[in-house]
């Protein structure tokens, strides 16, 4: 598994829900990894992780950690990235950052390889991994945009609690047992750990993901709006979003409505495009009740698309139902895929 | 509670999730009820129900059951309504039918009192109660339509399993315990009892409610599309829908996108309209994390609306998040409210 000639890879936030999956994705990747540097907060330093048949000791992430690193995958929260990603880049590492810290920075490419791999060429040491809910949507829509143009997106999300981390999954389980057993429900994390109020997630739907912005959209909704325009490199694209948390542990669902740039296109045409699209799996056979579901997508790297059909009243309007594992394509896998492309394009050498 | 002068009321399907709530709504209504005739299938005949401080014996629903009935509330499935509602009407009862049997019949008014109470005047003995997901949406949108006109609706639903009956709630609970205890999950009811395949509902989202139609929309989605146009009496209104079942027991959520007939309207204008709208409660204060949620709406008669905001890219486009108890305003309460209006309008006398 480990190569004698290859990359020195650091994973920052290696103990988290995404960090552990970054290791899994790295292990199953053809990337030539020579050494792993697992980094986390001081609290986790000294613990061990297994990777490539070897045990590695977690160290506290510090600026000098990155001295001999080729690729650093960050998923330890925005404040850690803001502090350490520029340090890593200045030491010669190429950073793939899974937080929102640098996503809208015009100097930082925001990349979903299936959509805008070419943007990697302009990097200055930091590449941003988009928000989970954005990634799966643009990966599914890009083939349609290429073929017919895309004028408008209206999306409503059905997002899993693992987007708030491993502790949020535990809270959902604890609350669910409490409701079933008619016991008091304790609320501490959802919808947003750092916000003032917390609500029951079990058997509920909460229309708040991340903090509210001055325009009454949540930050999650604004991420979908702004990141989509940046990734698709089209500021005229109309995008609007409603983000809702549902009592699902892993995998986001999205009800996506689009208006394309051409009339006379059928849902059959769109299905044909998505059948052959990279990273996308078409699951669309209503007669046999085949459509994507979070329970099926969890643990898989692909983006699953189904329920494709035309708006009966709008000639260029179509619905899609898009599901993907928010921790994999939405985070860990997209980051590792970016690393793979960096090497393939010769942007990281060893 | 019971009146010496008043109405003879039959409730058909009195043992079901909606039927039991019809009794609760009747009990708390100012309607003058003289007698109750609880009807169900032969299986439940002989059982007792309490109503108005008295015990009543359930009888098997037959044509002659309706001989002395003034108002008959039906919620025992489409086939029962198709057979018995015309019999009840021919015997002089006014039927309020909570199934889809007669909703699109041009001779049958389809009524949400807050929207089209006047349509009751044209009844021929049968009045249809719309689909649960339609009712809460049109009740919230009607004040906006009145003020500014309505051109387009795109809705994505987050629907509770109680829409499939009391057994579906039990299945969700059983499956949820099985998942938490790492036991095999049994599937028999969701998404559609009468369809070929059944899927896990616990910790999942299923984009199928009711059977698929030839155009790849589900029947639930077509109900929302067709019923909305009929209730709002506007065949030019563009409506499209995606209906998704989520692991919630009671109360549907809806992410509703609308385009209104006027530009220059602000979200503040729309909030002001909904603040005073009949049957609607505005819950829209992002700074204090106030928005509607299924867990809060369950057991309440009103339609709750929040997250109202303009599309940043479309001058006449707005989002709303609409939540209501699908068994009350979506079914039992809307039916009893229709009965109240029939009496108030002099269309049923005693």
pLDDT at B76 over 70: yes
pLDDT at A2 over 90: no
Mean pLDDT, residues B163-178 taken together: 96
Mean pLDDT, residues B303-332 taken together: 98
On chain A, the residues whose CB falls within 8 A of the CB of B174 are: none
- Per DSSP, the residues of A242-292 read EEEE-S-SS-EEEEEEEEES-SS--HHHHHHHHHT-TTEEE--BGGGTB--
CATH superfamily name and code, A7-130+331-344: NAD(P)-binding Rossmann-like Domain (3.40.50.720)
Q: For B225, which of A176, A239, A312 is closest by C-beta distance?
A: A312
Q: Encode pLDDT of B21-59 as tens digits.
A: 999 999 999 999 999 999 999 999 999 999 999 999 999
- Tokens 């061990």 belong to A48
**CA dist., res. B37 & res. B93, Å (int):** 12
**CA dist., res. B343 & res. B123, Å (int):** 13
Q: Encode pLDDT of B120-146 as tens digits.
A: 999 999 999 999 999 999 999 999 999
Do B257 and A240 make contact, defined as CB atoms within 8 angstroms?
yes
- Per DSSP, the residues of A311-339 read -TT-TTEEEEEEEE-TTIIIIIHHHHHHH
Mean pLDDT, residues B267-276 taken together: 97
Do A314 and B173 make contact, defined as CB atoms within 8 angstroms?
no
pLDDT at B299 over 90: yes
Q: Encode pLDDT of A220-277 as tens digits.
A: 999 999 999 999 999 999 999 999 999 999 999 999 999 999 999 999 999 999 999 9
pLDDT at A219 over 80: yes
Q: For A294, which of B204, B212, B313 is closest by C-beta distance?
A: B204
Residue B235 touches chain A, beta carbons under 8 Å: no
Catalytic residues of B: 132, 252
What are φ and ψ of residue B295, in 5° steps? -60, -30
Measured torsion, CA atoms of residues A318, A320, A326, A330, in degrees rounded to the nearest 10: -50
- Best A175, A289, A326 member to test B by mutation, with max B CBs in 10 Å, is A289
Peptide bond into B191 cis (omega under 30): yes
- Per-domain residue ranges for chain A? 7-130+331-344, 134-326
Mean pLDDT, residues A113-126 taken together: 98
**CA dist., res. B350 & res. B339, Å (int):** 13
Q: Encode pLDDT of A278-308 as tens digits.
A: 999 999 999 999 999 999 999 999 999 999 9
- HSE (CB half, 13 Å, CA atoms) of A19? 25
Provide the chain A residues 258-277 that lie in CB contact (below 8 A) with chain B: 267
Mean pLDDT, residues A85-106 taken together: 98
- HSE (CB half, 13 Å, CA atoms) of B244? 36
Specify whether the CB–CB gap between A254 and A157 falls below 8 A. yes
**Which CATH fold would you assign to the domain B134-326?**
Dihydrodipicolinate Reductase; domain 2 (3.30.360)
**CA dist., res. A241 & res. A220, Å (int):** 9
**CA dist., res. B37 & res. A145, Å (int):** 60
pLDDT value at residue A1: 65
pLDDT at B226 over 80: yes
Q: Strand B126-128 vs strand B94-97: parallel, antiparallel, or unpaired?
A: parallel
CATH number of B7-129+331-344: 3.40.50.720
State the average pLDDT for chain B. 97
């Amino acid at each position: 598994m480990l190569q004698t000639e290859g990359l020195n890879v650091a994973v920052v936030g290696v103990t988290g829900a995404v960090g552990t999956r970054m290791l899994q994705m790295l292990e199953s990747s053809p990337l030539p990894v020579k050494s792993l540097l697992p980094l986390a907060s001081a609290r986790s330093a000294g613990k061990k992780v297994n990777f490539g048949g070897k045990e590695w000791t977690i160290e506290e992430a510090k600026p000098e950690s990155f001295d001999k690193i080729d690729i650093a995958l960050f998923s330890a929260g925005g404040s850690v990235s803001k502090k350490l990603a520029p340090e890593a880049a200045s030491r010669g590492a190429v950073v793939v950052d899974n937080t929102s810290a640098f996503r809208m920075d015009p100097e930082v490419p925001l990349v979903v390889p299936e959509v805008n791999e070419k943007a990697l060429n302009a990097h200055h040491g930091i590449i941003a991994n988009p928000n989970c809910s954005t990634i799966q949507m643009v990966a599914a829509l890009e083939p349609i945009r290429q073929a017919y143009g895309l004028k408008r997106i209206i999306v409503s999300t059905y997002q899993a609690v693992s987007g708030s981390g491993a502790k949020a999954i535990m809270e959902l389980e604890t609350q669910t047992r409490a409701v079933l057993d008619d016991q008091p429900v304790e609320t501490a994390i959802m919808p947003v750990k750092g916000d003032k109020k917390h609500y029951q997630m079990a058997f509920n739907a909460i229309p708040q993901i991340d903090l509210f912005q001055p325009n009454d959209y949540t930050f999650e909704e604004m991420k979908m709006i702004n990141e989509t325009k940046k990734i698709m490199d089209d500021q005229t694209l109309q995008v609007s979003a409603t983000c809702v948390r549902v009592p699902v542990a892993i995998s986001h669902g999205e009800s996506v409505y689009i208006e394309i740039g051409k009339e006379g296109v059928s849902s059959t045409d769109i299905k044909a495009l998505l059948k052959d699209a990279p990273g996308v799996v078409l699951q669309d056979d209503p007669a046999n009740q085949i459509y994507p579901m979070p329970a099926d997508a969890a643990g898989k790297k692909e983006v699953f698309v189904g329920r494709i059909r035309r708006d009966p009243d709008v000639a260029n309007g179509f619905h899609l139902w898009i599901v993907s594992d928010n921790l994999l394509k939405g985070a860990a896998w997209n980051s590792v895929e970016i690393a793979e492309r960096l090497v393939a394009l010769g942007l990281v050498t060893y």
